[in-house]
Structure 1
Amino acid sequence: MVKELIINSAPSGVTIALLQDKQLVEINKEQINNSYAVGDIYLGRIKKIMAGLNAAFVDVGYEKDAFLHYLDLGPQVQSLQKLTKQVRGNAYKNHLLDNFEKETDIDKSGKISSILTKGQFLPVQISKEPISTKGPRLSADLSIAGRFVVLVPFSDVISISKKIRSNTERTRLKKIVEGIKPANFGVIIRTVSEQKGVAEIQKDLLDLISKWESFMKKLPTTDPSKKILGEMGRASTILRDILNDEFTNIYVDDNSIYEEIKSYVHEISPELEKIVKHYKGKEPIFEHFGIEKQIKGSFGRTVNLAGGAYLVVEHTEALHVIDVNSGNRTASPENQEENAFMVNKEAAKEIARQLRLRDMGGIVVVDFIDMHKAPNRKDLFDYLRSEMNYDRAKHTILPPSKFGLVQITRQRVRPEMNIVTNEKCPSCDGTGEIKASVVLYDEIASNLDYILNEQAEKGITLCVHPYIAAYIKKGFVSQQMKWFFKYNQWIKVKEVPSYHLTEFHFLSAKDEEIKL
């Protein structure tokens, strides 16, 4: 599988597209002022304790208070409270936790009112970004993620990814981390650590320790509700989590981001630095790589499949519903069961892609075409699970129900990617009405008179739809010729097929648009 990352920079932010075998599978947008990203750590102020919910609302500077449930406090929240109080009171000045005495773990079935009090300050980490009408979701179980490991304060446990199956490799990695981790810190060893050397893992861990020290230095002076430690940019985060030898190209159209990503890739995988390339083409990068067209075809209520079938995607506040339709597919008219199975498999592959592409979270209900044979239903379920293995978000897929519905729950940590594919009519601006065509020529002539007589422009070009150009240029004596006699200069008329019927623009001799 060939993977490519295409990064488009704009004044409003950065858009990152992930391609697998030239097909768009993920799209991420990072705003310039991207506060409240997953992983950011804020100094929260407890606003309200909700005993009935066993949760608290926390002020982190967002327009709506963030939500912190008791189960998200983490077992060592009392140690975090103690550390915060001591550091902000200058009673603890060590930037690590070597001499820190941890508190006992809290009761898993306890009450939040016994742990937190109104007005208290507590460092909290964003676990879900603000979505719809809800504020951020928080966790007080802090962690700092790196490429190979995750650093967890107030713990001594070394955990290893379940995807690393070799006992020999698990033992080797555990011994490496045991020898270099600081006291009172736990470490989670990530899947990408497999077969990595001591130097790489040690460097990654030292970088995380440096971030923790930065957190400790900022903690005493950070104002309540302000950010203490920020997660890295979305592009670097994606590279940190998924960069591997399968990547063949990373194209960036902005020089500063290109330098930043090249430097980051050099740090984490020097052998892959050569795949980072600065795109300098004239056309927009997404158009050049065909991403814009894929976006327009992949978002929206209806998604067409290659075999003639299609999906209908509906969204509600509570869940997402995907309906599979066979359309005009007639591959095997005599065997409806086989037809249904083939359409469902094609749909399952696209559904797995759509979930990643739109970053759909929560509950997703899929209505596949009915199949009567149990082996076919099992094969479809297994096929959908295998396609969903590429998805990095945590998810659960339930077997088809009695009514043939497949239910999927998928972790939602960011707002769903929603791109409007329907365009407003440029002629009527969505009103359903346009200017009377009989006055269009008068409007063009009036603007032309103003440009030539009042602004004294020379060598101008009129850009219009081909139909209007034909009206101006054809006939005897043509309108273009009449202008020549009237203004004593030739007015160029350029046909632009992409214009709508009543659209026109004037260009100066330098090919710059003349604003009217």
Structure 2
Amino acid sequence: MKTELIIRSTSSDIDFALLKDGRLNELHKETNDNNFNVGDIFLAKIKKTLSGLNAAFVNVGSEKDAFLHYHDLGPQLLSLTKYIKLIGTGKLKDYTLKDFHLEKDINKNGSIDQVIKSGQNLLVQVVKEPISTKGPRISSELSIAGRYLVLVPFSDRVSVSQKISNNKEKERLKRLAKSIKPKGFGVILRTVAEGIKVAELDKDLQNSLQRWVNLCKHLPRAQAPAKVLSELNRASSILRDIFDDSFSSIVTDDAQLFEELKEYIERIAPTKVSMIKLYKSKLPIFEKYGIEKQIKTAFGRTVSMPKGAYLVIEHTEALHVIDVNSGNRSNKANSQADTALEVNLIAASEIARQLQLRDMGGIIVVDFIDMHTASHRQKLFDHLKNEMKSNRTKHKILPPSKFGLVQITRQRVRPEMVIKTQEKNPNINGEVEAPIILVDKIENHLGRIIDKSKKGLTLHAHSFVESYLKKGMPSIQQKWFFKYKKWIKVIPRDAYQYLEYHFFDKDDNEIK
């Protein structure tokens, strides 16, 4: 399978599209004003504790206070608070924990007001970004994620990802981790660590350890609330989590991001640096790779699938509901049961993609087409689990219920990706303006600006309008050439609404 990461940069956002064999599988957005990414570490101030909830509200600088439950404090809370106090008073200069004496674990069934107090400073990490009216969800059990392992301060535990099934490999990794692990730190080996040599593991560990030291250097002069360690930018964090041998190219239209990606890939996979490319064409990058068109077809209420089947996706306050429909599919299977199974298997693959694409979290209920054969239900369940294996977000799938419903829970750590695919009707009477009328408007506009522009005049218009302008012999585009003695390049834009169009000069400046 060929994997491509396409990155589009604008003045305020960066969009990341992950393509597998040309098909859109993941879509992420990073905004400049998002100060609370998963993995960010803050020096925060406890605002108030609530014994009834056994939780606290914490000031991390967000509009809404962050929520910290007792079970998210971590067993080594006393060690963490002692460490913060020693650094703040200047009594501790060595940040590697090799000479730091760990305190005893807190009671796992204790009360929050017995271990933290209002006004107290505490290091916390964002585990769930602000969603809707809720503030961030945070934890004081800190971790620093690297490429192959996760470093856990104030711990001595070594564990291996459950996705590594080979017991011999698990033991090898544990043995290597124990040999390089610094005192006072625990280590979690990630799935991508499978088969990696000790030198690479140690290099990754030292990078994470240096990030911890840099965090500690900020503490003496930090005034709560303050961010003391940022998660990697979204591009690097995506590559850290999913980069493998299937990647064929990483393309961005931003020169600064291009250099950052090169620097990061040089650290984790030096032989793959050549796959990073800077996109320079005038055609927008998402149009070039067909992403805009895929977004419009994948994010609607109705999602089409092969062989005429389709999904209907509804969102409520409490859960997401997905209905599977066979549509106008012709029945070529041997029986109705085989038809239902075939459609359900296709739907299961598309549902796994949709959950990842939209980043849907919480409870998802899927109403598959009824199947009365136990073996068919089991086959569907196994297929859905297999399709969801590549989904990095924690999830759980229950077998089909007696009503034929499949329930899925998926961890929600950031707001769901919502893209409006419906547009306003361009005509108040419910009719669409004829192409020839729109072309007249475009040509009037062209007549006003043709003398102002020299070479390289380009028209960006909806793909339907672009097709109309190029249709026939001579086409409207060719007639313009004969009339104005200038070739007007027409670029189709799937992102545009039907009546939208813009003229640009050779320097990509819009001509009003």
The normalised TM-score by structure 2 is 0.86
**Counterpart residue number, 2:335:** 335
Distance 1:363 1:91, change over 3 A: same
Corresponding residue for residue 68 of structure 1: 68
Q: 1:176 offset after TM fit, Å?
A: 2.2
Q: Which residue of 2 aligns with 1:270?
A: 270
The structure-2 alpha-carbon separation of the partners of 1:21 and 1:506, relative to structure 1 and needing over 3 Å to count, comes to closer
Residues 1:172 and 2:172 are matched in the alignment = yes
Structure 2 counterpart SS, 1:307: helix
- In our comparison, the structure showing a higher alpha carbon Rg is 1
Report the Cα distance in structure 2 between the residues aligned to 1:283 and 1:448, rounded to whole angstroms: 20
SS at match of 1:412: coil
Q: Cα gap change, 1:221/1:371 in structure 2, threshold over 3 Å: closer, same or farther?
A: same
Change in CA separation of 1:502 and 1:366 when aligned onto 2, cut-off 3 Å: closer
Q: Distance in 2 between matches of 1:196 and 1:95?
A: 28
Range with bigger deviation, 35-44 or 193-202: 193-202
Partner of 1:379: 379
Query: For residues 66-125 of structure 1, what are the alpha-carbon distances to aligned partners after superposition, in whole Å with 9 as ceiling and x for unaligned?
Result: 100111000001111111111112122221111211111111111111111111110100
Task: Name 2:353's counterpart in structure 1.
Answer: 353
Q: Distance in 2 between matches of 1:431 and 1:42?
A: 54
Is 1:408 matched up with 2:408?
yes
**C-alpha contact (below 8 Å) 2:3/2:248 kept by paired residues:** yes
- Structure 1 pair 340–223 and aligned structure 2 pair: CA distance change class (3 A): same
Once the two structures are TM-superposed, the CA of residue 500 in structure 1 deviates from its matched residue by 8.9
Counterpart Cα distance in 1 of 2:298 and 2:498 = 29
1:49–1:117 Cα contact (<8 Å) kept: yes
Work out the CA distance in 2 between the residues paired with 1:363 and 1:195: 36
What does residue 190 of structure 1 align with?
190
**Is the CA contact (8 Å cut-off) linking 2:50 and 2:56 kept in structure 1?**
yes
Partner Cα distance (2:143, 2:422) in 1 = 42
| Contact in 2 for aligned 1:68/1:138 (Cα 8 Å) | yes
Secondary structure of the structure 2 residue equivalent to 1:219: helix
Q: Please list the CA deviations of residues 433-482 of structure 1 after superposition, one character each: whole Å capped at 9, or x if unmatched.
A: 999xxx99999999999x79xxx97999999989xx9xxxxxxxxxx9xx
Which residue pairs with 2:80 in the alignment? 80
Aligned residues: 489
Deviates most, 393-402 or 179-188 = 179-188
> In 1, distance between residues paired with 2:176 and 2:509?
63
SS in 2 for 1:4: strand
1:222 Cα shift? Answer: 1.1
Change (3 A) 1:104 1:381: same
Asked if the contact 2:362–2:410 (Cα under 8 Å) also holds between the matched residues in 1, the reply is yes
1:118-267 superposed matches below 5 A: 118-267=118-267
Q: 1:459 to 1:140 in 2, by over 3 A?
A: closer
Structure 1 32/448 Cα, relative in aligned 2: closer, same or farther at 3 Å?
Answer: closer
SS in 2 for 1:220: helix
User: d(CA) in 2 for partners of 1:212 and 1:462?
Assistant: 51
The corresponding residue for 1:35 is 35
Conserved in 1, the CA contact under 8 Å of 2:423 and 2:497?
no
SS state at 1:171 partner:
helix
* Offset of residue 339 of structure 1: 1.2
The residue that corresponds to 2:22 in the other structure is 22
Name the CA distance, whole Å, in 2 between partners of 1:162 and 1:500: 47
C-alpha separation in 1, matches of 2:440 and 2:284: 36
In the other structure, the counterpart of 1:369 is 369
Partner residue, 1:476? none
Deviations 1:353-390 (A, max 9, x none): 00000000010000001111111111111111110111
Alignment-mate amino acid for residue 31 of structure 1: T
Secondary structure of the 1:259 match is: helix
Q: Deviations over 1:387-431 (max 9, x none)?
A: 011111111000111111000001111110111111234x45x89
More moved, 151-160 vs 191-200:
191-200
Q: Does 1:297 align with 2:305?
A: no
Q: How big is the shift at 1:14?
A: 1.2
Letter in 1 for 2:10: A
Rounded Cα–Cα distance in structure 1 between residues aligned with 2:264 and 2:66 = 32
> Post-superposition shift, 1:199?
1.5
Fraction of identical pairs, as percent: 53
Distance 1:459 1:275 in 2: 37
The amino acid of 2:47's aligned partner reads: K
- Paired amino acid for 1:194: E
The code of the aligned residue for 2:95 comes to H
SS in 2 for 1:407: strand
How big is the alpha-carbon RMSD for the aligned residues of Structure 1 and Structure 2?
3.5
CA contact (8 A) 2:458 2:491 kept: no
The amino acid across from 2:173 in the alignment is L
Matched, 1:421 2:410: no
Q: Deviations over 1:298-357 (max 9, x none)?
A: 001000111101100011121100001111012237721111111111100000000000
Amino acid at match of 1:2: K
1:486 aligns with none
Quote the Cα distance in structure 2 between the aligned partners of 1:363 and 1:510: 49
Name the CA distance, whole Å, in 1 between partners of 2:491 and 2:182: 67
8 A Cα contact 2:146 2:205, kept in partner: yes
